[in-house]
Structure 1
Amino acid sequence: MITRLADTAPVLVLAMIAGAGSFTHIRDTATEHGQAGWMAWAVAVCIDLTCVMAARERQRDRKNGRERRGWISWPTLVLVGGITLSLSANLAQADPSAWGWITAATPAGAFLTAVSMLERRSTERPAVPDELAVPDELDPVLQKPAVLDENGTENGQNDTSTAGALLDYARRIADEHHARHGRPITRDNLRARLGVSSQLASALLRTLRDTTTKGDPS
């Protein structure tokens, strides 16, 4: 807990300080262009919060595995627009010199960098092994997938222990896939990983979904 706080606190502090600096420049620019009083504050809040909201929406899209339609997603377009407005307002308050522009743009740049760092950290997933170890009792099963039917029967004999081990192994593969990609495994992915028939992969996937829906702790 302390380590996580020490790791995150500097980024949060930077975001608040940089956001305050960028906010001030935006408010002053709005005031100079006719938005007096609370409206100037509202403009500044809208622009800064729009950037934060768009960054969070981008993170949510990646977490849910949402596919982009078109060359740019809507949250990304909103984020680019917010960045453009923020930088423009900061540069409008700068002295007309190279260093004036750089120093005026620093708060906005630091704020956006801090937001992107927080967004990046929030999308981290736990490390998972490249390959899961195959249980010893499943070695002959996965070497001979053709002898299994959709009920997990081997050579016409209903082997409960083998069927249970196969289901447990399929569950481990499904959990690994979800941890790595952020979405449930498909039948074809499961079939390719196990080397079994499509019918057996479908049966295993149905069983996994049923046990998850019923809240099976295993």
Structure 2
Amino acid sequence: MRTRHARIDPVLIQAAIAAALSFAHLHDLAAAAGQDGWKAWAYPVSVDLLLVAAWRRLRSGAAKAAGWCWFLVALTASLGANVATAGLLDLNDVPAWLRILVAGWPAVAFLGGTLLAHGSPESTETPAEFTEPATTITAPEPAAAEVEPPSNAAELPTVEPESATPAPSPVPPAPVPPALVALARKVADEHRARTGTAIDTSTLRARLGVPMPLAEAISTQLT
């Protein structure tokens, strides 16, 4: 039996490394801006969740404007933290405007997440109450044409009914060959000896392989 080996996807490894670095940068920036303890760890989670929510809205195909707006907001927060911790900013002396941005981020993230999760997707369908009912146009039925009797109806000759034709007399059954009658009698005797009852016309016809009218004629001669 073949053993399936787990394959390592380099793209997933690269994504995990990038996510870990971005997570650490956001944590360091939040801690430097005065958000210590568990609050510093909550900031990168908030930014990443907003990115995921905006990406899901973009993938759904509805309200793409809102999806792109909040995706860019979360991406700016993540990219800004990465750049700020690259040595261009003294983390021991964070400016006041950056402290204000970090402190106000939870309200921004809450607003964006709420709008993305509970916002009504755009729809181009017409509501049912404004849909006009279909109108069926029925063409008027043509009036039945009145048949007028011909003007010369009095001149037409009167056709007298013909006398009733007598029904044809029934055709007598065709004569049955004596040899076939003898064979049928032998079959009937075997059937009576085996079952104790007289053979019926259907069974006789099946045993002899003859048409039903001929089987009926043979049965008449056997009785």
TM-score under structure 1 length normalisation: 0.36
- Greater RCO, 1 or 2 (C-alpha within 8 Å, sep 6+): 1
- Higher CA-based Rg: 2
